[in-house]
Chains A and B, each alone.
Chain A
Amino acid sequence: MASQEVKLLSLWVSPFGHRVEWALKLKGVEYEYIEEDIFNKSHLLLELNPVHKKVPVLIHHGKVILESLLILEYLDEKWKEFPLLPQDPYEKAIVRFWANFGEAKLLRPGWPALRSQGDEKEKALKLWIEDLEKIEGELKGKKFFGGETIGYLDLAMGWISYMLPVWEEVGCSTILDPKKFPSITAWTEKFLSHPVIKENLPPRDKMVVWFEKRIKEPFSAQ
């Protein structure tokens, strides 16, 4: 029973979870999806991830793999269909570098920056945009981060295409100006048209409601 070999514990709105789902689907891996309520964490989650208590969690034949980017590497090593990472060690180092950069400088501080107010917001966004410009530079002249087809870095950066616009709307700020970010804009369109990505995105209106609720609460790094 293939679907019982692989299980994914995640939250419907988590960009960390989405990238794992895309990877599983791109590789044609059957899996069982288990929804987790992060505001009321299950015994299962606390047992599987006692150190961080976070999603996503991949369970393969009972073994637990944590951290979305590490899960992508694990999937690439276990399932050879649709390779995500480049073969060449140097090319691999480049994508890992940019994935880490995207995580630390853009994804994690993104929502906190956009939900903040006044001077604090202006300062945070200024730095954030400078860092986004580095991604724009990295993408120049390429169809995808992975070249002709989507790969590890496209999945790592995927949240920019569908989640950042929601943050912009809820946070009342425009960042992804097509004139300032032509490469990212073009990439967003191509990424979202990919059949696997298109079929596996959370509903936009549901996301807007979620983030509007979060903005009313005091911030906690969930």
Chain B
Amino acid sequence: MEEVKLFGTWPSPYSYRVIWALKLKGIPYEYIEEDLSNKSPLLLQYNPVHKKIPVLVHGGKPICESLVILEYIEETWPENPLLPTDPYDKAIARFWAKFADDKGSIMWTMFRTTGEEHEKAIKDILEILRTIEEHALAEKKFFCGEKIGITDFAFVGIAYWLEVVEEILGLKLLEAESFPRLHAWIKTFKEEPIIRENLPDQEKMFARLKRRREMLLASS
């Protein structure tokens, strides 16, 4: 099998989704941690357009954008599938993965801002959580049924990271009474072995993000 390398950054949720896919499918790979404040020449060579992580390099060929990478992994290594086989179910899975990607950045807007912008971001996040609760998660174990998949990976980025952000900001948005399905799903994915063994340490994340928030407040 040709060599697989993953350029990522701790604790980026976009990096982690690729790690989970590779591990779930049992694909050996070399992980390269990138310092985003000092990007390596290799990263700039492999992703000249966006200069971002994650980048998967398979047999010397780079693939960029986490959802594009996940689809590539799924097609190249079909064992332990991460997407439904039925085209309609696949379309739904992809729709929600894209939704998670498009909306995920609002969490960081909430983290970065204060005042009116901050309040608006909080409202937007509650609306997003409501949409996921009502439309995306039916009475299923995971987003696409009994098995974990790409859509779950995309939403973990919101849920798990939100827990840390909530603690730093002193907020509780994802309450069990208001979002019972989401709450059940979070519990389920955290118990999934591959995920459980490969989640960034929340204490470390808390320390790093708390510092960042303090710096942001000091400079505003």
Contact = CB atoms under 8 A, between A and B. Distances in A.
Interface of A: 50-51, 60, 63, 65-67, 70-71, 73-74, 77-78, 89-90, 92-93, 96-97, 100-101, 134
Nearest to A60: B88
B182 to A, nearest CB: 16
Contacts, number: 54
B63 interface: yes
Interface of B: 49, 58, 61, 63-65, 68-69, 71-72, 75-76, 87-88, 90-91, 94-95, 98-99, 131, 135
Contact of A89 (B64, B76, B87, B88): B76
Contact of A90 (B49, B61, B65): B61
Nearest to B86: A77
B95 A97 contact: no
A93 B72 contact: yes
Contacts of B61: 90
Given A73-B91, A74-B87, A97-B64, 8 more contacts: A51-B131, A51-B135, A67-B94, A73-B94, A89-B75, A89-B76, A92-B72, A92-B75
Contacts of B65: 96-97, 100
A77 B94 CA distance: 14
B210 to A, nearest CB: 31
25 contacts: A51-B99, A60-B88, A65-B91, A70-B94, A70-B95, A71-B91, A73-B90, A73-B94, A74-B87, A74-B90, A74-B91, A77-B90, A78-B87, A89-B72, A89-B76, A90-B61, A90-B63, A90-B72, A92-B72, A92-B75, A93-B72, A96-B68, A97-B63, A97-B65, A97-B68
